[in-house]
Amino acid sequence: MMEDLSDYTIMRKGLIQHEQYPEFPKQIGHFLAKTLFYTSDLAMDPFEKKKNVQKFTNPELCKITEDLVYTDPFYNAETNAYNPELEEDVKALWGNNELKLEVAELKKIFMTKAEALLHGDLHTGSIFVTKEKTKVIDPEFAYYGPMGYDVGALIANFLLNYNAQEGLDRTEEEKKATRDYLAQSVVDIWETFEHEFRNYWYHEKEDGFFNERLLKDYQDRYMKEVFEDTIGVAGLELIRRTIGLAHVADQESIQDPTRRALAERASLQLGEKLIMKRKEIGSIRNLVEFVANQTAVKA
């Protein structure tokens, strides 16, 4: 069965052309909440959930992620490729043992935390959009893993486009308008996801263990952990898309290597900070303020 998507655009291409998609954040937030909640232990029968974990085991493609996201960018691996103007930045990153300890912790989470059925490669190149509609494609990396992986990878791709504004030949007003749109989209994606996820949980989960107050407190604790995983993955994605094997056109389309390095350096620095401070940021609005402050310092 096939569907005609000729009216749709790959989202990455649209964002590079400074298009805006007002319905997307709520649509993708709903998609994330529904797919992640209803494939998790919070919604599924425990026996069926464990059967699903076996059914969707995906060791070959998980190994690709483990290497290209969690391992290779953090040492002098043959798969890495980066702008020569980043040489000193890259060497400093490779020598940062505190950072690498946190990356090792995030890798352990990816390999062991079978929370929900993930898309596994959810970024703006895997999404078709119009101004009104959204289609998610390319789920071949799907497996059971930490919910924050899908959410964090998507948010990072908005931040990659945000940082790419550094190297573009546009007015400061134009850059600010694009950044404001991207930042608000990041907020709306997370807030829609969290609201819908909590709503499904509140109405679908029947458990005599929880009274209403206890359920609210546990939801807060649960979502805090998902948020920390999300921020950590976003940091990893920013780094690996800059110095790893698979780059993104948001940054690569900047032809001048010196100007491109402005964007790429911003992504490396932001990626490191998100990994290191993922347990401190606390909320999605704090995240976008954190990103905006970093940009203001550079300006």
The answer to whether residue 144 sits within a structural domain is yes
User: What is the DSSP secondary-structure string of 45-63?
Assistant: -HHHHHHHHHHT--HHHHH
* C-alpha span between 257 and 173 (Å, rounded): 23
3-class state of residue 234 by DSSP: helix
Q: Which two tokens stand for residue 278?
A: 């993922």
Q: What is the reported pLDDT for 53?
A: 98
Domain residues for 167? 9-298
Choose among 135, 185, 154, 107: nearest CA to 248: 154
Q: In CATH, what number is assigned to the domain containing residue 222?
A: 3.90.1200.10
DSSP count for the chain of H helices, then E strands: 12, 5
Rg (CA), the chain: 19
Q: Which two tokens stand for residue 223?
A: 């979502």
Q: Which two tokens stand for residue 20?
A: 């805006």
pTM: 0.96
The answer to whether residue 278 sits within a structural domain is yes
**Strand 116-118 and strand 143-145: pairing?**
antiparallel
Q: CA of 245: how far to CAs of 68, 69, 73, 81, 115, in Å?
A: 7, 9, 8, 6, 28
The answer to whether residue 157 sits within a structural domain is yes
The answer to whether residue 167 sits within a structural domain is yes
Q: What is the reported pLDDT for 206?
A: 67
Q: Which helix (H) or strand (E) holds 145?
A: strand 143-145
β partners of residue 97: none
The answer to whether residue 1 sits within a structural domain is no
Number of structural domains in the chain: 1
3-class state of residue 117 by DSSP: strand
Choose among 152, 155, 145: nearest CA to 61: 145
Q: What is the reported pLDDT for 297?
A: 64
* C-alpha span between 278 and 299 (Å, rounded): 24
The answer to whether residue 4 sits within a structural domain is no
Asked if 58 and 120 touch (Cβ cutoff 8 Å), the reply is: yes
The residues, any chain, with a CB within 8 Å of residue 93's CB and separated by 6 or more, are 73, 74, 99, 239, 243, 268, 272
**Alpha-helix runs per DSSP H in 165-211:** 172-204
From first CA to last CA, the distance across the chain in angstroms is 50
Q: What is the reported pLDDT for 299?
A: 54
* C-alpha span between 277 and 17 (Å, rounded): 32
The answer to whether residue 192 sits within a structural domain is yes
pLDDT truncated to tens, each residue of the chain (299 aa)? 889 999 999 999 999 999 999 999 999 999 999 999 999 999 999 999 999 999 999 999 999 999 999 999 999 999 999 999 999 999 999 999 999 999 999 999 999 999 999 999 999 999 999 999 999 999 999 999 999 999 999 999 999 999 999 999 999 999 999 999 999 999 999 999 999 999 999 888 667 787 888 889 999 999 999 999 999 999 999 999 999 999 999 999 999 999 999 999 999 999 999 999 999 999 999 999 999 998 776 65
Choose among 297, 258, 236, 286: nearest CA to 105: 236
Q: What is the reported pLDDT for 130?
A: 98
The answer to whether residue 175 sits within a structural domain is yes
